[in-house]
Amino acid sequence: MKKLYRIILLLIALIFLSTFNPNEFSITSKKNSEFFEIRNIKIVNNFLIKKSIVYEKLDQIYNKNIFFIKREDIEESLKEINFLEKIEVKKKYPDTVIVKIFETIPVAILFKDKVKYLLDSSSNLVLFANNMDFDKLPIIFGEGAENNFTYFFDQLKNNNFPTKQIKKLYYFQIGRWDLQLTNDKIIKFPHNSTDEIIKKSVELLDREDFENYNIIDLRIDGKIIVE
């Protein structure tokens, strides 16, 4: 029985050696490797960011093995792109990578050292270009305004202030804001405006007896000064 078992093993080994071709094995491995090389990149969910910029940044991942590409590798390549908040990466085998873009939102135009910028929802400053169509955004003036705007603007929205009516914002280094509305009415807020003060401003703007006043000054605690 053992002799028969050895004979069968020898026959299997002879068949394998007679049919094995190392060159063919190498070609097959190479074909499998090429089969999983990245050939296509799809960019989705972008509005402000141009696809051409993303493709240019990701050019180096073409022809790389799709199994070894990580989201972190793609994030690193795209980190300098304006308005990019985060990405999601999906692999569609055998050769396609889908990159879903999540963008920050331009919220205001800011002048700093006489230079015009866009301020986004993550408090990033983006140099304003002539081809950008954001003229309806409010304009911000004041040194250090970019560091304090997001908190103040969120505070306004959370207290139902009509933010779409804001035309200009002026920031003062003592930590307070003046707002100019689209009807040119000006509201002067105190240092560290509270929710109560903002709610009071909303109430005053809705009152008919305040319609003829151009300035509503709320800087002094417990007093309303109008002009």
Question: Rounded to an integer, what is the distance from CA 24 to the centroid of its chain?
Answer: 49
pLDDT score at 6: 60
- Segment 43-48 long-range contacts (CB within 8 Å, at least 24 positions apart): 43/99, 43/101, 44/98, 44/99, 44/100, 44/101, 45/100, 45/101, 45/102, 46/101, 46/103, 47/103, 48/82, 48/83, 48/103, 48/106
Residues of the chain whose pLDDT is less than 50? 5, 9, 11-20, 24-30
pLDDT score at 128: 87
pLDDT score at 62: 93
pLDDT score at 132: 75
DSSP codes joined into one string, 82-148: TTEEEEEEEEETTTEEEEEEEE--EEEEEEETTEEEEEETTS-EEE--TT---TTS-EEESTTHHHH
pTM: 0.71
Domains of the chain by start residue, with CATH: 27-103 (3.10.20.310), 106-226 (3.40.50.11690)
Query: Using CA atoms, how far apart are residues 198 and 189, in angstroms rounded to an integer?
Result: 8
pLDDT score at 21: 53
pLDDT score at 129: 79
pLDDT score at 34: 73
pLDDT score at 185: 96
pLDDT score at 101: 96
- Residue 169 · residue 139 · CB < 8 Å: yes
pLDDT score at 133: 77
Q: Enter the tokens of residue 76.
A: 């690193």
Contacts of 179 (CB under 8 A, 6+ apart): 166, 168, 169, 170, 186, 187, 189
Query: Using CA atoms, how far apart are residues 11 and 203, in angstroms rounded to an integer?
Result: 96
pLDDT score at 114: 85
- Residue 42 · residue 97 · CB < 8 Å: yes
pLDDT score at 15: 45
pLDDT score at 135: 77
pLDDT score at 14: 47
